[in-house]
Amino acid sequence: MFLNKLMPSQFVESIHHIDIDQLKRNKIRAVITDLDNTLVEWDRPEATPEVIDWLARMQEAGIQVTVVSNNNKERVHRFCAPLDLGFICAAKKPTNRAFLQAVRQMNVTIAETVVIGDQLFTDVLGGNRLGFHTILVVPVAQTDGFWTRFNRQMERVALSWMERKGMVSWRRKA
């Protein structure tokens, strides 16, 4: 069923609520993460100190991180370059290409990788279609760029269905 492909493996409030030790215990060696409204607000050009700290803790744990974003090269490069962070822009998520390119670049398998994002119809659907462990985070900001607004409306319908079925364990922000 299509809605099952929208069901993330895990829900957390933010990237900061992801248990890095648990990732290591599960033999996770890599993270594919969205950028906008996952790591920082969609209109924030640079990483916050908290995100920089999170990335450092991932590195200390031996977990590689690659940003996979549907946004343009200028936006993604501006964020990732100062952090020396690998990235794929204009990813066309939920298609497979960028996800598969990221695991090849990090020299890991799908089983060794988690996908983190704030959207069901791009990050979770794309990751689930290939068999990744997917982690849905609450969007960092309550506003979105123009193209994301339509996805959010459809997402609300799917999340409401998941809540009614008892599948969602956290409360969405208003």
Asked if residue 44 belongs to a domain, the reply is yes
174 has a pLDDT exceeding 50: no
**3-state SS class at 83:** helix
Q: What is the mean pLDDT of the chain?
A: 88
What would the mean pLDDT of 18-40 be, rounded to a whole number? 97
Range 155-164 contact pairs with CB under 8 angstroms and sequence separation of 24 or more = 155/119, 155/120, 155/121, 158/3, 158/6, 158/120, 159/120, 161/3, 162/3, 162/6, 162/7
Domain count, the chain: 1
Asked if residue 35 belongs to a domain, the reply is yes
170 has a pLDDT exceeding 70: no
Q: Are strands 10-12 and 30-33 parallel, antiparallel or unpaired?
A: unpaired
Asked if residue 153 belongs to a domain, the reply is no
**CATH code, 129:** 3.40.50.1000
Cβ(117)–Cβ(96) below 8 Å? no
Asked if residue 1 belongs to a domain, the reply is no
What was the pLDDT predicted at 143?
A: 61
Q: Please give the residue range of the domain that contains residue 119.
A: 9-142
* pTM (predicted TM-score): 0.86
3 has a pLDDT exceeding 80: no
Per-residue pLDDT band at 147 (split at 50, 70, 90): low
1 has a pLDDT exceeding 60: no
In tens, the pLDDT along 71-122 reads 999 999 999 999 999 999 999 999 999 999 999 999 999 999 999 999 888 9
Asked if residue 151 belongs to a domain, the reply is no
Alpha helices by DSSP H, listed for the chain, are 2-5, 20-25, 49-60, 73-80, 97-106, 125-130, 146-164
